[in-house]
Chains A and B, each alone.
Chain A
Amino acid sequence: MAPPRLTGALRSFSTVSKQDDSTHDLYDLKTKRLKRQEIFARDGLTWQKIVQFFTQHLEKKDQPAATRELKNILQAAKHIVGTDFGQDTIESAGVFLFKTFHNKDQISHEETRAIKQMFGPFPASPAESCCAAVGRLVAQIGESQVDAFIQTQSSLKTVNSGSVFGRNIAFSFDAYALDAHDTMPWSEETDMDQALDF
């Protein structure tokens, strides 16, 4: 249960706060993940572009292997997102997995968390086989070339810390705390008694 707070009482009983029913959440984790997938699907990098990139940059003899790996990635994506979704969602998940694994040898905690953030709990083996497939695919062309391709195609920018509000503002995590000296009277330890332009 939420601890009792002065401001909780004021929100409930005074007339100076917005009176709305904030007891239910507007969105849950599932909705949030879908929204995240939707935002990601708007990215400039698409599955077609990935397929095209490998078709253009590989010699004909290497293409069957690449096609096999691309299929493997999509297959893994299907296992991760679930069977209820259409081809667009699966391809979008394939793009996400390709982007996530393109410069990784194995799945670390960071990648696991990123995939879970996007799709929720997922089985480990498709993720591992996907990571391996992406590794084999990228090895055919070279990591730096794939990196450059992803950079030029992606329209979703990662947050640039240089443009974030407050980046230069010193912030302290100090918080009001109980005085450690106020121990019980019978305890042995104590004798009882930057400049923002507003």
Chain B
Amino acid sequence: MACAKVPLDELHVTQPSGPQGKERTLPALHPDRKEERCFLTFKPPPEDGTPALLEEFLEHAQFISEDLEWLLALPHDKFWCQVVFDESLQRCLDSYLSHAPRSLDPSGISSSPAVADMQRNVHRSVFMVFLRMATHKESKENFITPAVFAEIIYNNYLFDIPKILDLCVLFGKGNSQLVHKMIENIFTQQPSYYGDLDETIPSIIQVFDSILQKCGIQSDDQPLKLNANRCLTAMTMSEEELADLVLYMCDTCTTVHSFLDIFPEACSTFKQHNFLNRLSSFYEIVVPDLEKAVKKRNFNKSIQENMWRQVSHSRKKMVEIAHLLLQHSCLQPILEGSENVVSFVEDLLQNFTAFLQEKRFLADYDEQFPIVDDISLLQQAFPLLDDTRTSYLLQGVESAWEFVGKKKSFPS
């Protein structure tokens, strides 16, 4: 068995092998030490409460729950053999992240207590498995050399950017500190994840573009398609398509927000992709379009109500994403008195100035995070601030409020 104070990647074990029970020595982390367990993939609970389907879900989930419990009870070396060499386990975990019900979904939480209980068991176990996989040092005796750990998790796709985003959105609300510790450790040990994040952000921006396209709107930097005139719009697409589109936007905004909220270290990578400008212009175009469609179209009231809440939720999340990006990549360095304070001030003012053309976004941003407060902070931290420029900015904010027909509520 495992010797004390030797990392798993250097450890060897002697175990019986073959029908005669001869002993052989092999690395502790070896495919032959994996157990054939046959993990099942996770399927979400059935939307209709048919007893037969519910029973099938429960049976399926019971297997998963028991298998994950078994996995978590394995000693450190056996756990890692299973994690690295058992493809069915990785598929099981990935299927949970992909298909687990989310409370933002219209059919998010099951009304059956048995299903809800089972769902909770699996939910907790999946999280604990990911937590254990993100831990290279479990105890003084059980650990992996950090560089080897970094290779293992990256080369075997134990974590990838979509999985990390799923972990944030599924588990981050109530376990933000643990999830932050997990992700921080993953990115610290394996900086290649920053490169992957960098590669992923254009795809996130593409998701915004595809939402615009589905609404029959072209983003500014995309050429007009030949069949653009024949495109459906939010007012003309089918009810199901509109519901899917709104849910897609809601999920996208919630996911990006939860990730940045939990792991603000990623803000600078997002900012490098001009994400703020893309986000604010997306907001400016898509929010009124979808709000109008949800309000004016005639369909089932509860679906309509739910869609409205999803659009409102997305609005808030987009504004909060913008604030997180500005706070972590401009405001905080200024307030902490970092070396290049002038460039951070300039960057912040440029971002605010860029918001001036997105009046709906600017008014909503200012409502949640008053720009005058940030300017006032800036003036204290950086007395050389150009008054003309800040006055221009604040006038722009006032005019944005007028443009959207809102009245500011001033504190009494």
12 A-B pairs besides A13-B203, A178-B104, A184-B295 with CB distance below 8 A are A13-B206, A16-B162, A25-B40, A27-B88, A29-B40, A164-B69, A164-B73, A176-B102, A180-B309, A183-B305, A198-B136, A198-B137
* Interchain CA distance A29-B57 in the complex, whole Å: 11
* Interchain CA distance A175-B173 in the complex, whole Å: 5
Whether B5 is near chain A, meaning CB under 8 Å from some CB there, is no
The B115-169 residues at the A interface (CB cut-off 8 A) are: 120, 123-124, 127-128, 131-132, 134-139, 157, 160-163, 165-166, 169
List the A residue with the shortest CB-CB distance to B250: A178
Give the total of B residues in contact with A, Cβ under 8 Å. Answer: 89
Task: Let me know if B104 and A2 touch, CB within 8 A.
Answer: no
The B221-271 residues at the A interface (CB cut-off 8 A) are: 244-245, 247-248, 250-252, 254-256, 258
* Interchain CA distance A117-B123 in the complex, whole Å: 20
Task: Let me know if A117 and B62 touch, CB within 8 A.
Answer: yes
Contacts of B38 in A (CB 8 A): 26-27, 31-32, 35
Whether B343 is near chain A, meaning CB under 8 Å from some CB there, is no
* Contact (A179, B312) CB under 8 Å given A22-B95, A165-B128, A184-B304: yes
Contacts of A9 in B (CB 8 A): 203, 206-207, 210
**29 interchain pairs, CB-CB under 8 A:** A3-B102, A6-B252, A10-B162, A10-B204, A14-B199, A16-B199, A17-B160, A22-B91, A22-B95, A29-B56, A32-B38, A32-B40, A32-B63, A35-B38, A117-B63, A164-B69, A166-B132, A169-B128, A171-B174, A172-B174, A177-B103, A178-B103, A180-B309, A182-B309, A187-B305, A194-B178, A197-B137, A198-B134, A198-B184
* Interchain CA distance A3-B97 in the complex, whole Å: 13
Task: Let me know if A16 and B204 touch, CB within 8 A.
Answer: no
* Interchain CA distance A35-B295 in the complex, whole Å: 54
The A145-198 residues at the B interface (CB cut-off 8 A) are: 159-160, 163-166, 169, 171-180, 182-185, 187, 193-194, 196-198
Contacts of B56 in A (CB 8 A): 29
Whether B297 is near chain A, meaning CB under 8 Å from some CB there, is no
Task: Let me know if B203 and A176 touch, CB within 8 A.
Answer: no
From the candidates A2, A169, A184, A187, name the one contacting B99 in the complex (CB within 8 A): A2
| Least distance between B85 CB and chain A CB atoms (Å) | 14
Lowest 5 CB-CB distances: which A-B pairs, in order?
A: A172-B174, A174-B174, A182-B312, A166-B128, A4-B248
Residues of A with Cβ closer than 8 Å to B?
2-11, 13-18, 22, 25-29, 31-32, 35-36, 113, 116-117, 159-160, 163-166, 169, 171-180, 182-185, 187, 193-194, 196-198
Task: Let me know if B137 and A176 touch, CB within 8 A.
Answer: no
| Least distance between A10 CB and chain B CB atoms (Å) | 4
* Contact (A26, B87) CB under 8 Å given A4-B247, A116-B59: yes
* Interchain CA distance A113-B54 in the complex, whole Å: 13
* Interchain CA distance A5-B251 in the complex, whole Å: 6
Task: Let me know if A35 and B36 touch, CB within 8 A.
Answer: yes
* Interchain CA distance A197-B146 in the complex, whole Å: 12
Say whether chain B's binding surface is mostly helix, strand, loop, or mixed.
Answer: helix
* Interchain CA distance A182-B312 in the complex, whole Å: 6
* Contact (A176, B169) CB under 8 Å given A9-B203, A198-B135: yes
Whether B181 is near chain A, meaning CB under 8 Å from some CB there, is yes
Task: Let me know if B99 and A7 touch, CB within 8 A.
Answer: no
From the candidates B104, B204, B256, name the one contacting A176 in the complex (CB within 8 A): B104
Residues of B with Cβ closer than 8 Å to A?
36-41, 44, 56, 59-60, 62-63, 69-70, 72-73, 79, 87-88, 91, 94-95, 97-99, 102-105, 120, 123-124, 127-128, 131-132, 134-139, 157, 160-163, 165-166, 169-170, 172-175, 178, 181, 184-185, 196, 199-200, 203-204, 206-207, 210, 244-245, 247-248, 250-252, 254-256, 258, 295, 304-306, 308-310, 312-313, 316, 406
Task: Let me know if B162 and A25 touch, CB within 8 A.
Answer: no
Task: Let me know if B200 and A10 touch, CB within 8 A.
Answer: yes
Task: Let me know if B162 and A14 touch, CB within 8 A.
Answer: yes
Task: Let me know if B313 and A5 touch, CB within 8 A.
Answer: no
Task: Let me know if A175 and B62 touch, CB within 8 A.
Answer: no
* Interchain CA distance A107-B310 in the complex, whole Å: 47
| Least distance between B81 CB and chain A CB atoms (Å) | 15
Contacts of B95 in A (CB 8 A): 22
